[in-house]
Amino acid sequence: MNFMTKLLHGNFAPDGKTGATTTPIYQSAAFCHETAEDLEKIFLGQKPGFVYTRLNNPSLDAFERRLALLEGGIGAVACASGMAAVSLAVMNIVKSGDEIVSGSGIFGGTHSLFSGLGDYGVGVHYAKDNQIQSYLKCMNENTRLLYVETIGNPKLDIPDIAALAELAHSQKIPLIVDNTVTTPYLVQPIKLGADIVVHSTSKYINGGGNSIGGIIIDSGQFKWAIDKFQTLRDFNKFGKFSYLAKLRSSLLSNFGGCMSPFNAYLTSIGLETLGLRMDRACENAYRLAVCLQKTNKVAVNYPGLQENIYHNLAAHQFGGKFGAILTIRVGTKEKAFTVINKLKFALNLANIGDARTLVIHPASTIYAAKSIAEKEEAGVYEDLIRISVGLEDIEDLQTDFLQALENI
């Protein structure tokens, strides 16, 4: 089955009882069973079945199975948000005294999370750039995982996933990849050697900006049964499912960050058109980048442009597409505000991956609490505007941005 077909038919058939073509919203807190013996077996894992929506639910199950298929994993756990997914994916592995090595151009919320882990005894080091050497320099015997995003946001830096997977495995540690910005339509990190994939499904997976969600997908490839991963020792009996077993029965259950069935329903429907939307958004982003560059008024950062330092890696890694996020630098903060205020179609808000084109001034919003040095490390400058390009007619977008730029 090819990708677009999987989006519609993968791991789901119309409901046998009613013929419903989408998984209904199972808006129920718990699920009752005929006999006490049945429920005992389900609790012991000896019989499949649903118990309580914090642990599992048919609407979530359908969504999880489809995304696991799309990413090439053995299973998935849906979470309340992308941040719930990122934090549970990492905390399923580390304990006090352990360290994480991360790419530096990561999402602001993830950066905050990692900075806060110090209070729990977990250290974080950021590779200064995407050279393999820079990651290696940050690693030591306490390192328990490598963490990267497929395209850093808003820095738009790109790691070589296959090379990092090799580096991680040479040290017997897993590579976790946040694939939010590229989605499995552009790249399936597990195919390149990644062990765990996380998403904020609030973005392209949903596609309509109508619900918050996240998901963790496990490749099932990593061998956890070694001294480094004492935290998973009680789950080694589950073999290749040990990470997922701990995630669901321990972290998801104890921290309680489950996705709501209604959000799973909305997100599953959005997911069906992922391929079409990504084709369109990536094409629009490229055409907008070229148009803005031609004005000579702004510096454009987009991996799809020939001269971009990540162009070749992106072309190879993402199958000739370059994502739908670009940034422009317009000279000053005042000019950035003017451009944002003059835009008619592009909405000024803190999100990406919507059907609509979105803009934001990261320095005064998402990164407002960070120092100038931290901002620059994350590729955030006072005159920078981030654009998440949507599905509008490109002529309208180009006209909108050109008229806004007339004012500076």
Ligand X SMILES: *Cc1c(COP(=O)(O)O)cnc(C)c1O
Contact 163, 371 (CB under 8 A): no
Residue number with CB closer to ligand X (242 or 263) = 263
Identified binder of ligand X from the candidate list 71, 98, 99, 149, rule CB under 6 A: 149
Query: Do residues 67 and 111 lie in contact, with contact meaning Cβ atoms separated by under 8 Å?
Result: no
Judged by CB under 6 A, the residue of 62, 86, 146, 194 near ligand X is 86
- The nearer residue to ligand X, 143 or 211, going by C-beta atoms, is 211
Nearer to ligand X, 111 or 375 (CB): 111
CB 209 → ligand X: shortest distance, Å? 11
Provide, rounded to whole angstroms, the least separation between the CB of residue 150 and ligand X. Answer: 8
Binding status of residue 204 toward ligand X by CB under 6 A: no
Instruction: Work out the number of other CB atoms within 10 angstroms of the CB of residue 5.
Output: 10
Q: Please tell me whether residue 180 binds ligand X under the rule CB under 6 A.
A: yes
What is the CA angle 151-154-157, rounded to 5?
40
* Signed CA dihedral, 197, 200, 205, 211: sign only: positive
Q: Minimal distance in Å, beta carbon 211 to ligand X?
A: 9
Shorter beta-carbon distance to ligand X: residue 327 or 398 = 327
Q: Which of 23, 56, 57, 110 binds ligand X (CB under 6 A)?
A: 110
The answer to whether 206 contacts ligand X (rule: CB under 6 A) is: no
Residue type, 79: C
Tokens of 254: 């104890």
Residue nearest to ligand X (CB): 82
Binders of ligand X in range 339-358 (CB under 6 A): 352
- Of these, 57, 102, 202, 206, which contacts ligand X (CB under 6 A)? 202
Residue 347 CB neighbour total at 10 angstroms = 17
CB of 179 to ligand X, least distance (A): 8
User: Could you tell me how many residues of this chain bind ligand X (CB under 6 A)?
Assistant: 18
Nearest distance from C-beta of residue 199 to ligand X, angstroms: 8
Nearer to ligand X, 195 or 400 (CB): 195
- Length of the chain, please? 408
Distance CA 328, CA 339 (A): 11
Give the residue with the Cβ less far from ligand X, 102 or 180.
180
Nearer to ligand X (CB atom), residue 214 or residue 390: 214
Full strand arrangement of the beta sheet holding 143-149 = 75-79, 214-218, 196-200, 175-178, 143-149, 99-102, 123-126
Q: Which of 62, 67, 83, 343 binds ligand X (CB under 6 A)?
A: 83
Provide the mask over 237-276, with x wherever binding to ligand X is found by CB under 6 A and - wherever it is not: ----------------------------------------
CB of 42 to ligand X, least distance (A): 30
In angstroms, the CA 56 to CA 29 distance is 10
**Edge-to-edge strands, sheet with 299-301:** 299-301, 325-329, 384-388, 358-360, 347-348
Interface with ligand X, residue 200, by CB under 6 A: yes
Q: Which of 112, 219, 126 is nearest to 174 (CA)?
A: 219
Which of 157, 160, 178, 400 is the binder for ligand X (CB under 6 A)?
Answer: 178
Among 189, 209, 214, 379, binds ligand X (CB under 6 A): 214
Choosing from 107, 147, 224, 243, the residue that interacts with ligand X (CB under 6 A) is 107
Binding site for ligand X (CB under 6 A): 81-83, 86, 107, 109-110, 149, 153, 178, 180-181, 200, 202-203, 212, 214, 352
